[in-house]
Structure 1
Amino acid sequence: MSNVESPVSVPVPEELIQAALRAAQARGVAVGDVSMQAIAHEAGISRSTLLRRLGGGRQALDEAVRAAGVDPAGQKPVRERAIAAGAALISSRGLSAVSLERVAADAGCSVHSLYAAFGGRDEMLLAVFERYSPILDVEAVLAGERTDLRSTVREIYSHMAAAFSREPRVLPAVFAELLARPHDDSVRPLVQHYLPRMFASVSRWLAAEIEAGRIRELPPLPLTQQLISPLVLHVLLRPTTEQLPDVPVPPLDEVCDTFADAFLRAVAR
């Protein structure tokens, strides 16, 4: 029987973990490539004091950094890996297949790390939707200086088309689940958070255009649907229509132009 004892795990103070992360970020390298002297300097202590607080080596520090969601060898942070893994799962198997356990396995991390990075499954899903949806781009367009109504509509369509065409195909999978199971628990984060946020940003802009006299006064929900529905339906059906014989499918840029002009003809004063 071996007399070699297993190394004792030493609790690492949070300030030492943060010092190691700051030192790595400042040098643009992985935590594992930062010297103990540099970490000690960042923490404002001597190297010998640092080693004493870590139990004589850096193993405890590396384990603590890993538990905080950062791979000391330079792997992407847990949050980034989880978002990518969640997106791939949604694209291939749908929202209902996404669990913290499955994402943790695919992302190469622990479920505890996911809770630390997001807080829970719903928050993780919202982070995936935000990354792979057009919401940030659309909000930026509507918050910026706008030239004319058609240019704004056209830019919104461009971002929507890009998001629906992006791999992994998160948005088509999400919309398929919304249509098939609108009351399922798996779509609850979208219904409670994502869709209201998107509707609020677009409806505020449309209300301002109505107030300025550029758009006819119409109910907010049908007006918003008039804006987004034609393009959403086109991009959802596009992979199918591209397989139809003798049915020419125009480029997406041309489709965006067509729907922008159609929207203006329908609602503009």
Structure 2
Amino acid sequence: MSSRDVPDTSRRISVDVVQAALRAAERLGKDVADVPVQAIAQEAGVSRSTLLRRIGGSRQALDAAVRAAGVDPGGQRPVRERAIEAGAHLIGEHGLAALTLEAVATAARCSVPSLYAAFGGRDELLRAIFERHLPLLNVEEVIAGPHADLDETVNRIYRLLAEALTLEPRVLPAMLAEALARPGEPDLQRLLQHFTPRKLAGLGQWLADEMAAGRIRTLPLPLLIQQMIAPAVMHFVLRPAIEQVPDLDLPSVEETCAVFAEAFLYAVATPSATVSGQGV
């Protein structure tokens, strides 16, 4: 049955059947969409085959009738959440070019119009995916919280980087691969234009404050950011492949983060930070 047929079928479903579905859902403590047809049939006092005839053989039609009665049948997470998850997996597995609304709709089991309703278009969906998976935005929470010493803050930032770069779906590695292969890609440029100011306002402002306080050497801010994150990014992007090399024993992720933090602080922390216990 096509989606075009569902509204007509839903109008033919009796109020008694809809009410039976709602009672069964309440009795079982489930969404209507998750209630077995047999349970609804029992609540309606009919056989399963009779109920299926009354709803036109389609659970989708029954769900539509329940929705028309003003009740969300449930059974699935909101389209926005499903689309962000599906889009992240598409990017992680196939790159930015794989993120089409048609592909996301298929993977998220929704319609393209519902994606437009949730996001307004592909660009906003792409931003929502990177908002969820870009670790430098999470860093804002670290530096906005209670101020730990310089060493602890740097270590926490590296642990956030490691988490975002190693967990599936690997959205950030896919973005980095796109940046290396096609730096002029319009999608990538739009993402950078959207997120770079926030990155500078977050991580960049924290580094600038540390320089102003004399705990970090005065260096050009873009280079200081790159010096902090580039070695770790390179390591964690390549780590899954390196781990496959026989007889190569990599340190744990925790130990690796500690090594990168120590190296960064050794390179940029001032003697005053070290003396006061704020650095290495």
TM-score tier by shorter-chain length is 0.7 to 0.9
Aligned to 1:97: 98
1:7 and 1:267 map into 2 onto residues whose CA distance is 69
Q: Which of the residues 67, 71, 86 maps onto 1:62?
A: 67
1:249 aligned counterpart, secondary structure: coil
Contact 1:32-1:62 at 8 Å conserved across structures: no
Aligned to 2:201: 200
Aligned to 1:237: 238
1:73 maps to 2:78 = no
Superposition deviation, residue 198 in structure 1: 2.0
Contact 1:134-1:163 at 8 Å conserved across structures: yes
Superposition deviation, residue 29 in structure 1: 6.2
Letter in 1 for 2:106: A
Task: Give the CA RMSD over aligned residues.
Answer: 2.9
In percent, how many aligned pairs have the same letter? 54
Render the CA deviation track for 1:190-222: whole Å, top value 9, x for unaligned. 222123322331110001111111111110000
Structure 1 unpaired stretches of 5+: 10-27, 34-56
2:8 and 2:183 map into 1 onto residues whose CA distance is 53
Letter in 2 for 1:189: R
Superposition deviation, residue 253 in structure 1: 0.7
1:161 maps to 2:165 = no
Aligned to 2:132: 131
1:131 aligned counterpart, secondary structure: helix
Render the CA deviation track for 1:230-253: whole Å, top value 9, x for unaligned. 100110111222233443211111
> In the comparison of the two structures, how many residue pairs are matched?
223
1:167 aligned counterpart, secondary structure: coil
Contact 1:32-1:74 at 8 Å conserved across structures: yes
Superposition deviation, residue 93 in structure 1: 0.8
Residues 222/109 of structure 1: CA separation in 2 closer, same or farther (3 Å cut):
same
Determine which structure has more spread, i.e. the larger CA radius of gyration: 2
2:164 and 2:182 map into 1 onto residues whose CA distance is 22
Residues 64/86 of structure 1: CA separation in 2 closer, same or farther (3 Å cut):
farther
Contact 1:125-1:189 at 8 Å conserved across structures: no
List aligned pairs for 1:171-250, cutoff 5 A.
171-250=172-251
Letter in 1 for 2:67: D
Superposition deviation, residue 73 in structure 1: 2.9
1:117 maps to 2:115 = no
TM-score under structure 2 length normalisation: 0.72
1:259 maps to 2:260 = yes
Contact 1:126-1:189 at 8 Å conserved across structures: no
1:177 and 1:104 map into 2 onto residues whose CA distance is 23
Structure 2 unpaired stretches of 5+: 1-6, 12-28, 35-61, 271-280
1:147 aligned counterpart, secondary structure: coil
2:169 aligned counterpart, secondary structure: coil
